[in-house]
Amino acid sequence: MNLDPQIQAALNQWLGSEYDAETQQRVQQLIDSQDEKALVDAFYKKLEFGTGGLRGIMGDGPNRMNKYTVGAATQGFANYLNKTYPQGNIKVAIAFDSRNNSQYFAQIVANIFSANNIKVYLYEALRPTPQLSYTIRSLQCQGGVVLTASHNPKEYNGYKAYWNDGGQLLTPHDKNVIEEVNAITSVTQINFEPKAENIELLGEAMDRQYRMALKGLSLDNGFVATQNDLKIVFSSIHGTGITQVPQTLKLWGFNNVHVIEEQAEPNGNFPTVVYPNPEEEEAMTLSLQKARELDADIAMACDPDSDRVGCAVKNHQGEFVLLNGNQIGSLLVHYVLTRKSESQAFSGHDFVVRTIVTTALVDQIAAQFNIPVYHTLTGFKYIGDLITKLEGREKFLVGGEESYGYMVGDLTRDKDAIVSCAFIAEMTAYYKNQGKSLFDALLDMYAQFGFYREKLVSITKKGKEGAEEIAAMMTKMRQNPPSTLGGSKVVVIKDYQSLKSLNVSTGQSESIDMPKSNVLQFITEDGSTISARPSGTEPKIKFYCSVNSPLDDKSKYNETAKILDQKVDALMGDLIGEN
């Protein structure tokens, strides 16, 4: 093999005595296999923080999740915390999900923080990601870590780092932590030896506190008691949701919850699904089967770390249909604002948040209630950061992103499937009390505000070559942007990397007031929007499309949906086909 000198140097380092004998042996076996592609992918770079933190395939090498990459990330984080808070008394919280090695990695993280004289609150067993965010805020920690790869395939694991507000690391902290990590050039700089006195285990007491805090957000005024036998199907898809969702639903007054037992046992191999992602219909198969058997009112499922939730409802033909992230998010926004309005509970300083690739239907709904909507970059850390920046001056009510992540109330700074499940059940009870299903509420919303239809297309490009292909696609779209999409003229091009919004007809540009991000957005004359964004956590480039039209007659929902779907396909075909 004729490997790049940088890759060969990394291989030589991992064969050195700094690394344990088992690691050296596995690396040598990989070299002996002559699998050049595997060697390049594992050793050509270091894992970097993206929109979701550190995430990668588990294995040996600097571009893999293992004891040493997790160790270097933690030592760098610890160094940064100690420099930022030189007075000491630093506290961090740590949680982990059901993935293979998550608990192992969590213990390594706890050990390293403790060794660096940092107080550690470590959950004794798996817990949801949003609970980690709540814990940081509740215990007034300076930081935190959750070991999870969210909804990625079983080969992956990840490391989400959090700051003192309970939100994921943002500039300048993320870059500063990376600098500290990059300054670690030898494994000997990582202090793996724990100080046991600095580690405290968390369990049921914090669980109860979190659930009670969530209960305080409920907007129920008695209708849940009327509908307490609402038939709810829930699946944790072998993840952390089982530790909190059934308990939270019971606390909120729902007594007829049917857990999918085949998926209730935490298991990092996710044996009943291809991908543990509630965005995928396949992952909802067992939930849908149970919902049909029971004639349920709602079926819900969380991803392994319980920051995303998907749900299914029965349509007018009696079939269970999956709602997408934009639909769930819009329903939540409409429900929360409706109930706040009915109870005259607006503060006068309220706001809603969505990301730039989330449906504009949210804006239409909020305008009806005279509530402002702020837009952020993709990634819930930007939503959390905005809530923190406005804290004390404005009050966050509800918001989220199209990728099945939502939050109601400001108890955490990360998307929360636990509170989302509770609110989805609550709004289902609210509408049922009026003789309506959640599907009826969806159609009512479209009839009032416009029928918005969205689609996401993800193109996977793995490894070093894939990353280069994705970069080339973005460069091509910037240098040769389309003039028309789906038969409609492109009138505005927004480039979040240059932070310029170009009016195509006048040639005039306006500044975009956001952090830089590698996102392109094309807006057409007929009000359609299509966005291109390389993922920060997966080897993918994602294309998001949104179209809309009036829905004057709710009986024409299926017919209108078909027309809008054709329009989406035409737009997507034009942009992706050229690339």
Residue 450, burial from CB neighbour count under 10 angstroms (0-12, 13-18, 19+): middle
pLDDT digits (tens, 9 = 90+) for 110-163: 999 999 999 999 999 999 999 999 999 999 999 999 999 988 889 999 999 999
CB atoms within 10 A of CB 360: 21
Q: Is 150 a catalytic residue?
A: yes
Which residue type occupies 455? K
The whole-number pLDDT of residue 537 equals 64
N- to C-terminal Cα distance for the chain? 33
* CATH 2.60.120 corresponds to the domain 451-577: no
Q: Are 333 and 356 in contact (CB under 8 A)?
A: no
CATH of domain 51-202: 3.40.120.10
- Please list the residue range(s) of the chain that carry CATH number 3.40.120.10: 51-202, 210-449
Q: What DSSP designation does 196 have?
A: G
In the predicted structure, residue 52 carries a pLDDT above the cut 60: no
The whole-number pLDDT of residue 367 equals 98
pLDDT digits (tens, 9 = 90+) for 427-452: 999 999 999 999 999 999 999 999 99
Please state, in angstroms and rounded to a whole number, the distance separating the CA atoms of residues 525 and 521. Answer: 13
Q: Are 163 and 145 in contact (CB under 8 A)?
A: no
Say which CATH topology domain 210-449 has.
Alpha-D-Glucose-1,6-Bisphosphate; Chain A, domain 3 (3.40.120)
Is pTM, for the whole model, over 0.85?
yes
User: In angstroms, how far apart are the furthest CA atoms of the chain?
Assistant: 72
- Please list the residue range(s) of the chain that carry CATH number 3.30.310: 451-577
Which residue type occupies 71? G
Is the torsion defined by CA of 143, 147, 149, 150 positive or negative?
Answer: negative
pLDDT digits (tens, 9 = 90+) for 317-358: 999 999 999 999 999 999 999 999 999 999 999 999 999 999
Q: Are 365 and 449 in contact (CB under 8 A)?
A: yes
Question: Which one of 94-98, 170-174, 538-542 scores highest in mean pLDDT?
Answer: 94-98
Burial 81-92 (b: 16+ CB within 10 A, else e): bbeeeeeeebbb
HSE-CB at 85 with a 13 A cutoff on CA atoms is 18
Tokens 């300083």 correspond to 349
Beta-carbon contacts of residue 428 (< 8 Å; ≥ 6 apart): 227, 230, 297, 298, 313, 437, 438
Beta-carbon contacts of residue 521 (< 8 Å; ≥ 6 apart): 356, 492, 493, 494, 495, 496, 529, 530, 531, 532
150, 218, 517, 531: the active-site residue: 150
DSSP code per residue over 58-127: BSSSTTSBSHHHHHHHHHHHHHHHHHH-TT---EEEEEE-SSTTHHHHHHHHHHHHHHTT-EEEEESS--
Which residue type occupies 363? D
CB atoms within 10 A of CB 126: 24
Quickly state the pLDDT bin for 401 (edges 50, 70, 90).
very high
